[in-house]
Amino acid sequence: MKKPLIAIVAAAFMLSMFAVAAPPVRAADQIVMKIGTATLNDMQHEYMRRLQTAIEKDSKGRIKVEIYPASQLGSIPREIEATQFGSIQAWVGPPEFLSGVDPRFEALSAPNLLGDVAHAARVLNDKEFSTAFLGLGADKGLKGLALFVHGPTAFDTRKPVNSVDDLKGMKIRVLAAQLQMEQVTRFGGTPVPMALDQVLPALQQGAIDGVMSDLPVFTSLHYADAAKYAYEADQAMLCSIAVISKQWYDGLPPDLQNVVTSDGTKVARDLLPWIMQFNNDQKKLWLQQGGVLVTATPEQRKAIDAKMASVSEDVLKDKPLVKKMVDLAAAAAARTK
């Protein structure tokens, strides 16, 4: 009786060893997920780093995530096109650059819409708004993955700016959105849409006089070397979106689809404390880099608000679908105050 018993125990032991020590995922079996963005060492880059860690862990190595900041995969328009066609699997950046895919992507550019960083995050996480916004582009090959805050708007210029009146006559780089262009026009400047990888050379050569973006962009890309004057107007909030190739996503098995979508959302939400601290740190860093920083006074803020008051109404009077999305965001802003 002892020999059969010993054999049974030995067989059970061997089976348990196979169950515990499953063979590692071979490189040939891995699914590659390439993610691109135009910025470097900012919220978008940090989101990609954290998403890489989460997806590789939760997929148990079945998905290999490769991250490419600083436009390594091409200019913003090229990266978006590549994501649509599936040659890269994800892109992270300002949703305004997707307005060519669907004009409603520019809705978050509306001035006087979002409050501080914490309030903006609550709006972006509002279920009704985020579901509608992330659903844009589904018929153009893009699946929305997550939304998160970047930072309050500011101007970086080659000449000193002590109020928005000093922007008159300046050529200012903006995102590819009419709502942003109209803001610069109301301040007396000339808006110049431009991909991010072209901005620093344009500043250095004097092809543009300044940039409307936020301090994290100015510091991470060292704009102070070419344009050291920053003015915090804070008339709007810059946000970021992560989109994935729908073609690639649809080809994943259901369990990996769940890993990508759940991690994409969770990483964005968990990033908020880091974003808030990072934004606070940029003022000191900008000064350390040799920049000059001016913040709008309460009186200047009132004047800025007055200039911005009718921007959305005027720009969107012939864009009912975009206006509906702005109204949806406004309703979320009211709910989450």
Looking at domain 29-335, its CATH class is: alpha beta
Contacts of residue 205, defined as CB under 8 A and 6 or more positions apart, other chains included, come to none
Answer for the pair 183, 308: CB distance below 8 angstroms, yes or no. Answer: yes
Q: What pLDDT is attached to residue 22? A: 44
Of the CA atoms within 13 Å of residue 323, those in its CB half-sphere come to: 11
Report d(CA 37, CA 68) in Å as an integer.
6
CA-nearest of 209, 215, 204, 199 to 161 is 209
CA-nearest of 99, 148, 104 to 325 is 104
Report d(CA 223, CA 32) in Å as an integer.
34
In angstroms, what CA-CA distances link 242 with 101, 133, 140? 14, 12, 15
Residue-wise pLDDT for 11-29, tens only, equals 444 444 444 444 566 666 8
Q: What pLDDT is attached to residue 215? A: 97
Stated as kind and residue range, the H or E segment containing 90 is: strand 90-93
Report d(CA 208, CA 203) in Å as an integer.
6
Report d(CA 194, CA 258) in Å as an integer.
35
Q: Model pTM?
A: 0.90
Report d(CA 98, CA 95) in Å as an integer.
5
Which residue has tokens 């997929």?
A: 59
Q: What pLDDT is attached to residue 127? A: 97
Stated as kind and residue range, the H or E segment containing 68 is: strand 63-68
Answer for the pair 106, 322: CB distance below 8 angstroms, yes or no. Answer: yes
Q: What pLDDT is attached to residue 27? A: 62
Q: At what angle do helices 127-134 and 117-124 cross, to 10 degrees?
A: 70
Could you read off the pLDDT tens digit of each residue along the chain, which spans 337 residues?
444 444 444 444 444 444 444 456 666 689 999 999 999 999 999 999 999 999 999 999 999 999 999 999 999 999 999 999 999 999 999 999 999 999 999 999 999 999 999 999 999 999 999 999 999 999 999 999 999 999 999 999 999 999 999 999 999 999 989 999 999 999 999 999 998 889 999 999 999 999 999 999 999 999 999 999 999 999 999 999 999 999 999 999 999 999 999 999 999 999 999 999 999 999 999 999 999 999 999 999 999 999 999 999 999 999 999 999 999 999 999 999 9
DSSP strands (E only) in 194-335: 210-213, 229-232, 237-245, 292-295
Report d(CA 248, CA 87) in Å as an integer.
9
Q: What pLDDT is attached to residue 195? A: 86
Q: What pLDDT is attached to residue 29? A: 83
* Cβ-count burial 18-48 (b if 16+ within 10 Å, e if not): eeeeeeeeeeeeebebbbbbbbbebbbbbbb
Q: DSSP assignment of 194-217, as one string?
A: --GGGHHHHHHHTSSSEEEE-HHH
